[in-house]
Amino acid sequence: MAVPSRRLSFFAVTALASALALTACVPSGNSGDKDTPSGDASGSTQSSTVRVVVHDSFQLSDEQNASFTEKTGYDLEIVTNGDGGALVNKLILTKDSPLGDVAYGVDNTFASRGLDENVFAPYTSTVEGEQGKSMRIAGDDTLTAVDYGDVCLNIDSDHFATVDLVEPLEKDGFFNPANAGLAVVTNPATSSPGLSFLLATISKYGEDGYLDYWKQLKDNGLKIVDGWEDAYYVDFTATGDGDRPVVLSYASSPAVTLTEDGSRTTTEALLDTCFRQVEYAGVLEGAKNPEGAQAFIDYLLSDEYQNTIPGAMYMYPVSDTATLPDDWAKFAPVPQSTNELDPALIAKNRDQWIKDWSAAIIG
């Protein structure tokens, strides 16, 4: 079972020239835009279609689509727009003529960019749970947390069960850079997991120390590839034919590297190396159908949808009452703590951090 492409999608933070390209995907059964009178004295109309702008890996089944329409009376039109970084860029570029009514897939590494540009309209869902509330961005009343996941290093447990390490695998709760030639990670300039791991190292070692850590990794044979798929399915010893028993992936990854009988997993996440990604939904400022957009956010928070997030998108649901699959509960525990950075700090320094890292590590 493969992790969806959202986890490995490439983005170019500065590629604004291509950001207006989009692909529209209308789920089966959608009836298209239909305007019905709203009762407004000005004669304006309210669309019965909710136009939902998402990243490429958003999943909504035909049954869920039909259920939303049955519960709310609104039809759905889904518009895909690349990965999370590309999505934010497009929302900003089109804010004066928004691409839709509601957006899903903006994460905490890019959210502040959209907030600074006033892309989203205020909305607080009445069905938002306590965990979701705790993941709101401080001072913001527009974005609603829908799901979250933890990017971290994973190890081939079976490999290390038969190998004697010269150095401990971890040092001070983080991966020990003294271990030569073991790890493969993804480039933060081309991979969203790579960016998350870069942020984890900045959180761990500070702005004055993170590049020194990376230089130690590089000097000891760190392999850097462009995308998660190559790292996980080519270079990682547990899932590919490579020679790297340490790979950058997700805390949930061990739930899919099970033995044939499902009794155990062959990999383990190093939970102290995790950086948390939170994905949000928000009503777009200037939406033609803000009420429908709000109804869609409420639906994303319902257990009918939240219960399907792990299997469909390999993220953890934010609902306090959602049920995790048995394999997740057993093999993909949520880290008790993660490496975190203030979204405002990320927004201010993200591009410079990537440039500095690229200059120091790639050259």
Residue 306 lies in a domain: yes
Helices first, then strands: H and E counts in the chain? 13, 15
pLDDT tens for 263-308 read 999 999 999 999 999 999 999 999 999 999 999 999 999 999 999 9
CA distances from 32 to 28, 45, 74, 77, 356 (A): 11, 15, 11, 7, 47
pLDDT of residue 45: 53
pLDDT of residue 357: 98
What is the rounded distance in angstroms from the CA atom of residue 350 to the CA atom of residue 213?
18
> Does one domain contain both 209 and 79?
no
Mean pLDDT calculated for residue range 149-168: 94
Q: How much of the chain, in percent, has pLDDT values that exceed 90?
A: 70
Residue 99 has which token pair? Answer: 């691409």
Question: Which contiguous run of DSSP H or E holds residue 186?
Answer: strand 183-186
> Does one domain contain both 122 and 212?
no
Q: What is the mean pLDDT of the chain?
A: 87
> Does one domain contain both 46 and 95?
yes
Mean pLDDT calculated for residue range 62-76: 97
> Does one domain contain both 143 and 283?
yes
Is the pLDDT confidence value at 27 over 70?
no
> Does one domain contain both 297 and 221?
no
Residue 11 lies in a domain: yes
What is the rounded distance in angstroms from the CA atom of residue 58 to the CA atom of residue 324?
19
Mean pLDDT calculated for residue range 78-88: 82
* Band of pLDDT at residue 36, cut at 50, 70 and 90: very low
Residue 208 lies in a domain: yes
Pairing of strands 246-250, 183-186: parallel
CATH number of the domain where residue 90 is located: 3.40.190.10
pLDDT of residue 46: 65
pLDDT of residue 281: 98
> Does one domain contain both 206 and 324?
no
Residue 154 lies in a domain: no
Mean pLDDT calculated for residue range 67-75: 97
CA distances from 308 to 64, 124, 145, 318 (A): 10, 23, 16, 12
Is the pLDDT confidence value at 47 over 90?
no
Residue 301 lies in a domain: yes
> Does one domain contain both 75 and 132?
yes
pLDDT tens for 333-361 read 889 899 999 888 998 899 999 999 999 99
> Does one domain contain both 15 and 123?
yes
* One-letter identity of residue 214: W
pLDDT of residue 292: 98
The packing angle between helices 343-357 and 210-219, to 10°, is: 40
> Does one domain contain both 144 and 198?
no
> Does one domain contain both 313 and 346?
no
Structural domain that includes position 356: 159-275+341-362
Pick 93 or 37 by higher pLDDT: 93
> Does one domain contain both 171 and 246?
yes
pLDDT of residue 18: 36
pLDDT tens for 164-177 read 999 999 999 999 99
* Band of pLDDT at residue 17, cut at 50, 70 and 90: very low
Domain count, the chain: 2
Is the pLDDT confidence value at 30 over 90?
no
Highest averaged pLDDT of the listed ranges 81-85, 194-198, 211-215:
211-215
Residue 141 lies in a domain: yes
* One-letter identity of residue 57: S
> Does one domain contain both 183 and 36?
no
Mean pLDDT calculated for residue range 61-68: 97
Residue carrying structure tokens 């933070």: 13
What is the rounded distance in angstroms from the CA atom of residue 277 to the CA atom of residue 318?
12
pLDDT tens for 311-323 read 888 889 999 999 9
Residue 336 lies in a domain: no
